[in-house]
Structure 1
Amino acid sequence: MDDDLRDRLAIRDLIENWVVWRDAGDWERFRSVWFDDGRMMATWTQGTADEFIEMSKQGWAKGVSILHFLGAQSIDLAGNRAISQTKMTISQRASVHDVLVDVVCTGRFYDFLEKRGGRWGLVLRQPIYEKDRMDPVDPAASLTLDAKLLASFPEGYRHLAYLQSQIGYKIKTDMPGLKGEAVAQLYASGAKWLKGEPLDR
């Protein structure tokens, strides 16, 4: 096995472990996929890996239900640095206006990775939110959303943001979507990362 393939397999393993360990609440092993300076960006929280883990633990204790599922992956390797893009869905269940709903958001994990001391780890995870939808768990239930509030959130994750705002989270409203300036800036930061430049934080 050559080094290129070995690195790609290690990165894929890391990305899959992130999803399984995070969704299972296996926090000790989940911490191992991050470097100490690793950062996580999400609609509902932004900060260090340790801050994200703590916020996730608090959510678990309150009954917050967020799950992830992975699809195809593309990895750009440049020595000890990499950019990984992985198709994913985020699924969250909660009550909105007293109706139990599921929100499914489709997008990509856009990850900045580095190999340090022979080990790959996450330096930054920035999701890209492409489209989403909200459905009552009971198909016979009737749900009416606040149209003004819904329209105040970006198109790619407006239903996810709506749900999260209803359970008390402050939503970041400038996250990258399928198109636009935010995702263009993210791609530019990824290109710089692969050239060995410092990460824009």
Structure 2
Amino acid sequence: MNDITAVAQLVLHERRARDRGWWDLMQGCLAPDAAIRLSWFRGQGAAFIAASQEMAARGDAATHILSPPTVDVVGDRAAVEIGAAIHLRGDLHGVEVDLTSHARLLYRAERRAGRWQITLLDPVYEYDSLAPSIPGTPVRLEADVLARARPSYRMLTCLLGAKDYAIGHDLYGDDRPEPVRQLYGTLFDWLRADNEK
């Protein structure tokens, strides 16, 4: 298996393992010191797995529909971008709703001791939508939460915030293009730096 295929399979297996609750397999994909920064979580790989287990136990498990990944490899470093539609069914103020959040997942991976592992995950949130799972059912959204929420992940903020998840307001999103441009620059600077050692 060549490196591009190996890294593509790595990120696909990590997302599948999270969706299916295969925690041991997920652990094998993530470096213990991996930096993970999502709407509801910031921390390292091992803590992310534990938090994902807790989230699933609460009935808040998500499903990721993924596009084909784009992989760039330089030496023992790889950068991956993969489009994702994140689906979550949940309860919002007593109404069952379906959330779809569209994002680009940006990964860094490194070959350590001959094995590829994910060392960073940063999503770029694009937009999201929320609908009742039974069409026509009224859904109540809190005006103050809507007013404070970022456009790129507004409905995610409403749903997860109502479930007592702390949602960051400084994440990467298409509503703030300059930090996203800098993120891509940092990612590819890091990738090329491995070739300059």
Q: TM-score w.r.t. structure 1 length? A: 0.91
Mapped contact 2:4–2:72 kept (Cα < 8 A): no
CA displacement 1:36-68 (0-9 Å, x = unmatched):
211211100110111111111111221112111
Contact 2:97 2:132 in 1 (8 A): yes
The reply on whether 1:98 has 2:83 as its aligned counterpart is no
Within the alignment, does 1:33 sit opposite 2:43 as a pair?
no
Asked if 1 retains the 8 angstrom alpha-carbon contact of 2:67 and 2:82, the reply is: yes
Q: Which residue of 2 aligns with 1:7?
A: 3
Q: Runs ≥4 in structure 1, deviation > 3 angstroms?
A: none
Aligned partner of 1:172 in structure 2 is: 168
Find the partner of 1:42 among 24, 38, 41.
Answer: 38
Alignment of 1:1-201 (within 5 A): 6-178=2-174, 179-196=176-193
Number of residue-to-residue matches in the alignment:
193
TM-score of the aligned structures, taking structure 2 as reference length: 0.93
Is this contact kept in 2: 1:175–1:182, CA < 8 A? no
* Residue type at the aligned position of 1:181: E
Whether the 8 Å CA contact 2:30–2:118 is kept in 1: the answer is: yes
* CA RMSD across the alignment: 1.4
Which piece of structure 1 moves more, 81-90 or 61-70?
Answer: 61-70
Q: Is the 8 A contact 2:36 2:43 kept in 1?
A: yes
Q: Percent identity?
A: 31
CA distance in 2, matches of 1:16, 1:73: 8
- Segments of structure 2 that go 5 or more residues without pairing to the other structure are none
